[in-house]
Amino acid sequence: MNRHFLGDTAVLLGRSLRHIARSPDTIITTAVTPVAMLLLFVYVFGGAIQTGSGSYVNYLLPGILIITIASGISYTAYRLFQDLQGGIFERFQSMPIARAAVLWAHVLTSLVANLISLAVIVLVALAMGFRSGTGVLGWLAVAGILVLFTLALTWLAVIPGLTASSVDGASAFAYPLIFLPFISSAFVPTESMPGPVRAFAEHQPVTSIVNTIRALFAEQPVGSGIWTALGWCLGLLVLAVTFAVITYRRRIN
């Protein structure tokens, strides 16, 4: 059964990845837009923003990585909606394919696409002067946090993808996620914010995740912040998977 599920997932994953390769708007949204934001904030606004003695691109990169993920996962909801409307799910149900494989293929497609986009962003940041002295373990820790966050948001995207009544409704949920980093420590220190805004910024998931990644890149102690970041990622992941699976079962039955 496991072998059947894995084989079906691999085939459907290849199908979804081929669709991405043929969709230039996906590439533009998931890679070019975050690169443009990175260039804009570093070269236009960076000189006016006080973040300490370090390079602003070093400060900014973790937040741009989060925005890259938030913009990329909207396509999971979009692709799921398109498959449902096109009758693909009904066709798969009439075939000897593991039901869970259809959903997992979309989730893994999002993970692969986002990892590629994140790699592009890091390469551009390196060309712009980003430097990190962290070792292999530090980079693996950063990658692990980003993978968990991507999976959590992807499973969250599955829910509107299965329940939306229009294409706009399927992908619109990602807009608040994209703007959430702007009310965090992603672009400026939270100390510079007014009281109520600062309170929100310091107690939302993006700030703890960004601060942890930033500390890992800078080889600074992460303290309890890494557990807060992992707690947010794992908590969101468990909730998103639970509700997504329930929604999926109701939708296909």
Q: What is the pLDDT of residues 9-39, one digit of tens each?
A: 788 788 878 877 777 677 677 778 889 999 9
Distance CA 209, CA 34 (A): 18
pLDDT at 2 over 60: no
Distance CA 243, CA 158 (A): 9
What pLDDT does residue 141 have?
A: 94
What pLDDT does residue 1 have?
A: 45
Supply angle C-alpha 14, 18, 24, rounded to 5.
150
Please list, residue by residue across 29-57, b when 16 or more beta carbons sit within 10 angstroms of its beta carbon and e when fewer do: bbbebbbebbeebbeeebeeeebeeebbb
Question: How many domains in the chain?
Answer: 1
Q: How confident is the model at residue 253 (pLDDT cuts 50, 70, 90)?
A: low
What pLDDT does residue 139 have?
A: 94
pLDDT: which is higher, 157 or 50: 157
- Phi and psi, residue 97, nearest 5°: -120, 135
Mean pLDDT to the nearest integer, 141-150: 95
Q: How confident is the model at residue 94 (pLDDT cuts 50, 70, 90)?
A: low
Q: What is the pLDDT of residues 36-87, one digit of tens each?
A: 999 998 888 877 777 766 788 999 999 999 999 988 888 888 888 877 777 7
Query: What residues make up the domain containing 42?
Result: 2-252
pLDDT at 197 over 80: yes
Output the pTM of the full model.
0.89
